[in-house]
Structures are given as C-alpha cells and as structure tokens.
Structure 1
Amino acid sequence: MEKRILDYTEWQDTADTLHLFLQMAGKVKIERSEKRPGWGHIRMPLSIDGIGTGIIPGNGGSFEIYFNLRQHHVDVQDTNGRKSRIPVEDGLSVADFYAQLMGALEYIGEPTRINTTPQEFHVQTPFEQDTRHHSWDRQAVAVYLDNLHFAYRSLTRFLAPFRGKVFTPQYWFGTMDLSGTVFAGQAAPYGGTDQIGVNCFDEKFVEYGFWPGDVNMTKPAFYGMPYPFMAAIDSYATMLKPEAAVFQPQLNEFILTLEDAFAAPDPEQAVVEMCRSSFEIVQRIDRWADLDWITEPMTYPAVPSSG
C-alpha cells in the first residue's frame, strides 16, 4: 500500500466533521442495541468502502447506517427494502447532517431519539446546533480509510491466535479509533463512578488499537492500553519492540506512531512486534491466571503452497 500519513492538524476540520457524523450513527446504535459487556454493542465494523453500524434492531425488522467513504454518501436502510441516501460533501454541516439523518430514520420507519451532545470530544456543541464543522476533504478521508485498513490487517495478525474472549478490531465512535482487545477473564473492579468506565473497566484486559490523532496528540499512532492501568514499566522497558515504540506514563499506554511503523522494513510486523512485546511486559508485571491456555498455539495445518 502507499504509505500516506496525515498529522491530525493537516485535516482537523474534516476529521472532526467525520468524527461527529459517525458519532450520530453510533448513538443510534446505543439506543437500539442489546447491551453487552465492555460496550461491545456499540462497536462499528470496518468494511472495504467505509464504516457502518452493522445490524441494528428495529421496529419489526432490522436496519443499518453505512458510511461509504469512497463514494461519499451515507445509506440508511432496513430489511424491508426502504432506503434513504445522504450525499456527503464539503459544506455539509453537522447540524444539517443531523437533520438529514433523523429524517432518513423517520423515512424508513425507525425514528430514534439520541443524546445530541458529542461523546469524548473536545467541543460539546449539540449536533443540531453545530454549524462550525462542515469540512469534507475527500483525499484526507481516503488516506484515513487506507490507514484503517492497514491497522485492521496489522492488529488482526496479533489478535487472531488468542483464545478466550477477544474483540476483533472495530471502530469506536467515542474516540475515533479502531481497536481490538484481549481479555483475561479475571475480575478487576473499577474505582471510578463514570458510566463509561464502570461499564468498561471491570476485568483485566489489554486493548490494542489505532487512532488518527487528536487535539492532545496530533500524530496518528498505534497503542496498547493495559487495564488495570500501569504508571511505569521500569526495567522491562528494554523488552519493548521495535526500537521506536515507547511507553507513555501520562497516557498509561504503549505507543508506536504510524510514521515509525511505516519506516520499518515490514510495517505490519512492526505493529505486531509492539503488540507482542508490550503484552509480554504486561504479563511480567501482572501475569494472568490462565495465560498458558489463552496463548496456547493453534493447531491448524499450514496452508499448502501453490504449485
């Protein structure tokens, strides 16, 4: 793939607009879906052409909201054949998109009221009032989609062999990242009271993902976030691979920037190395009870080479 990198500052207006558009769809999914542990019900699957909600329970059927980031439109459709399409172009504000999305849901018979305050976002203007965000740079969106596909391939290589409970990489609308998680199956009660944390941080896990940067850290990067959180890794720092990967105490996360991954001879393998080495460090500091079973090698036969 072509190695294209966007610093968040280079496409912030479009990134924020896209983020808020996707948040609306995610909030519809929250309201309609059966609840799962760890907010598993709000994850949004990546596809070749974009990001969608997946199947959402409806009124006697099902529906979905799909963002085609290649053709630049959003389809709202149900299992009864009703469909509404929203073209996305530069100048379409968050407020205008919100009105059109609500209208599309009404049209297919699935009106849904949502909390219109942005989630985990640096601006709290309600969707229906936000005329500030209205940018749509098609080239930047294409780069972002390419990077999501690279992240999906890389993270899947690491996550696929694990046994037990694993979230494969999908999109999280709150923080605009694509991530998957390995769970220990061991309770680890959360000390806070916020709704997001209480329903997320309740068992040991390590989340691995990619996010495109934000107002606090503008470089797109891969991360590994252990829970319970770690403030330091001390003498184990030398185990972290590749050399460009770091542990950032202020984030409680392992970090490998997209730029550093792309600079490696094998970019996907560089991401896998960061994931594997950081997972090993986590186990050195706090070994999971059933680690041997969770990491037991699979026994599938090797794929035969073509003649």
Structure 2
Amino acid sequence: MELFPPMPLAEWRDTKETLHRFTQVVGKIRLASSVRRNHWWNVPFHLTGRGITTRPMGLVDGNPVFTIDFDFVDHRLVVATADGRTESFPLAGQSVASFYRRTLDALAALGVRVEIRLPRPYRLADADRPFAEDVEHATYDPAWANRFWQVLGQVGLVLEEFAARFSGKVSPVHLFWHSLDIAHTRFSERALDPPAQVDPVTREAYSRELISFGFWFGDADLGEPAFYSYTAPEPAHLAEDPLTPASARWIELADSHLAVLRYDAARAEADPRAAVLAFFESAYQAGAVRAGWAVGPLACPGGITDPRLTDPPLSDPRLSDLRPSDPPP
C-alpha cells in the first residue's frame, strides 16, 4: 500500500462512526480492568500487526489476565486469556448494541467479569444513549476498516521516529478511543494546577506542561483527516511562529491554537513522511521555545542520548557491527 493512501472522511463516515463506538465499548473495559497510569496512559489502544489491542488486563481485579484485540485483517474481535482460551466474533454485521452484548458474552465465556460504570459513548453526539440501545450505528465496511488500520500503522511509525528525537518524559505512541486519534506527547518538568472546576479527566491529562502531536481522521469540526499539534498551556504569541511545510496552518480554537497539516496536503508533498516530520518539528520548536523549554539538552538525535555514540564511526570495537540506532548487546 502507498504511504498515506486516500482517506476521505465522507466515503467512510458511517463505518468510522460505528467503529468509533466499538472502540469506546472496549476502551471502557480497558479503563475498568487496568492499573491506572499517569496521564491516563493505561487507557489507550496500541497497534499490532493485524489491528489494535488493549494489551493485557486483569489480575489486580480478580479476573484472569486477558486481552481484547480488533483484527482488521480477518475483521473479528478477539478476546483471549493468558492460558490460551479465546472467544471471537465478526465485526461486520454488528450494531453497537449487538457488539456490546457479544463482547460481554465473550468475556463471560472466559470467566471475565467487568462492570462498565458508564456504558454509553464518551463525548460523542449520542452520549446519553446506552451502548445496549444503539442499533443506529451498524455500518462496517471491511475495506475501509483495513485502510483505517493501515494508515494508523504508517502514522504510528512516523510518530515513533519523531518521538526518538526527544530525551525527556514522553508518552507512548497510542490510540485514544475518546476522539479516535493516534498521538504522542512530550512533557516538561513543570507541574500545572488547573482551576478547581476542571474535570478530573482533564486535570490528570494536563497535570504537566506538554506539547502533543498526532493525527485524527476528521470530525464534525474539521471534516477531513489531519496531523496536529498543540502546546498546553499555550504560551503567548505561539501562533505567530511559522510552520513547515507552507501548507500547515494555525487554527484558532476557543482560547488557544492548533497547528494543523491536512492529510491531503501532506500526501501532495514530494516526500510526505519528511513533510510530516518537519511539521511536527516546527510545531515543537514553536511551543518549546516560547514556553522556555531546554530545547538543546532535551534533544536526542537519532534516538541516541550518549554523545559518544552520535559521531560515527563508533570507537568501541564491540559496537562496530551496530548501526547508530541499535541498542548495545
């Protein structure tokens, strides 16, 4: 498949809306069955060679160790326990209601008991409708679901490459199910104290100064896929700084700005991968310099923190067979 294949939202919107709710069902199971991590890092999905996974859950809550995977090659939901037992069912032909019921049935068949505290969508238009009652969203086109996963994998690798350039605290590259975006975040050491009225989810997500980078497939606000970046809290005059490539723009939100590079604009560049990396770097430099981060000391060229390893040839003969990006034996 070509790098960054066409992904027009209008052509797969119904599948996206259904799939988004499927991921929220499983994401809320992940939330209920995992050990809490800072900034909610326990909650997102991670990519696999066939789709996305919750990673292992259970154990601490009396359940066996189990995982839930979306297989976008064979188009099945697969629930598995560490002792090798599995339950699965097809993703196509399911409404949100039937998907929800069959997921819980698969867990029960494996001896897993999970209570979802709020079994309804999070921050979606039908947030008041329980999953069990949603028979409206029932479109699943396997071709678009597979392309969704292919694009996630491609973008994920670009984000991994960008993440390697920073030696400070960073998040994994992971897929958030609340907004269906794949993201990577860099943090400074400065703690924040959001106003008391800020909800607990947001307080934990933004408890440290950060700059985030990612990609999402489009929504009601921006009706096309795009790469993005934002700095929180936003330093003064951030949107005055130039972005790369020239097609990238700052978009004004309610009280901040979002750096945006449209997916189709990136695809039109001579080297789309390099264009996306340049976009992320320009947004990072704008936010980090304006916020007073130690940009130089936090740099990590080629994913290497040891300055003796950054200048080839490697002086240690024990490392002579390693590329600069390889870990030592």
Q: TM-score, normalised by structure 1?
A: 0.92
Aligned to 1:247: 250
- TM-superposed deviation, 1:9: 2.2
Cα 1:74–1:231, aligned 2, differ >3 Å: closer, same or farther?
Answer: farther
Give the Cα separation in 2 of the matches to 1:234 and 1:24: 37
Give the Cα separation in 2 of the matches to 1:190 and 1:13: 37
- TM-superposed deviation, 1:286: 1.2
What does 1:100-115 correspond to in 2, within 5 Å?
A: 100-114=102-116, 115=118
Give the Cα separation in 2 of the matches to 1:56 and 1:13: 30
What does 1:101-250 correspond to in 2, within 5 Å?
A: 101-114=103-116, 115-124=118-127, 125-191=129-195, 192-229=197-234, 233-237=238-242, 240-250=243-253
Give the Cα separation in 1 of the matches to 2:181 and 2:276: 15
Give the Cα separation in 2 of the matches to 1:144 and 1:231: 36
1:85 aligns with 2:119: no
**AA in 2 matched with 1:247:** W
Aligned length: 301
| 1:189 match: secondary structure | coil
Aligned to 1:71: 74
- TM-superposed deviation, 1:256: 0.6
- TM-superposed deviation, 1:186: 1.2
**In 1, are the aligned partners of 2:171 and 2:186 still within 8 Å (CA)?**
yes
Aligned to 1:50: 51
- TM-superposed deviation, 1:231: 7.4
- TM-superposed deviation, 1:304: 5.0
Cα 1:219–1:231, aligned 2, differ >3 Å: closer, same or farther?
Answer: farther
**In 2, are the aligned partners of 1:52 and 1:65 still within 8 Å (CA)?**
yes
| 2:234 match: secondary structure | coil
Aligned to 2:315: none
Give the Cα separation in 1 of the matches to 2:139 and 2:28: 21
**In 2, are the aligned partners of 1:51 and 1:68 still within 8 Å (CA)?**
yes
Give the Cα separation in 1 of the matches to 2:221 and 2:239: 25
Give the Cα separation in 2 of the matches to 1:131 and 1:60: 30
- TM-superposed deviation, 1:120: 2.0
Give the Cα separation in 1 of the matches to 2:107 and 2:65: 12
**AA in 2 matched with 1:285:** R
- TM-superposed deviation, 1:119: 1.0
**In 1, are the aligned partners of 2:212 and 2:229 still within 8 Å (CA)?**
yes
- TM-superposed deviation, 1:185: 1.8
> Per-residue displacement from partner, 1:70-128 (whole Å, max 9, x unpaired)?
11001101112221101111x31000010000111111111111121201212222100
Compute the RMSD of aligned alpha carbons.
Answer: 1.8
Aligned to 2:296: 292
Aligned to 2:317: none
Higher mean displacement: 290-299 or 35-44 = 290-299
Aligned to 2:318: none
Q: Gaps (5+ residues) in structure 2?
A: 313-321, 325-329
Give the Cα separation in 2 of the matches to 1:128 and 1:232: 47
Give the Cα separation in 1 of the matches to 2:55 and 2:214: 20
Higher mean displacement: 121-130 or 295-304 = 295-304
Q: Could you tell me the percent identity over the aligned residues?
A: 27
Cα 1:247–1:230, aligned 2, differ >3 Å: closer, same or farther?
Answer: farther
Give the Cα separation in 2 of the matches to 1:235 and 1:85: 51
Give the Cα separation in 1 of the matches to 2:182 and 2:174: 5
Aligned to 1:266: 271
**In 2, are the aligned partners of 1:230 and 1:249 still within 8 Å (CA)?**
no
Cα 1:133–1:23, aligned 2, differ >3 Å: closer, same or farther?
Answer: same
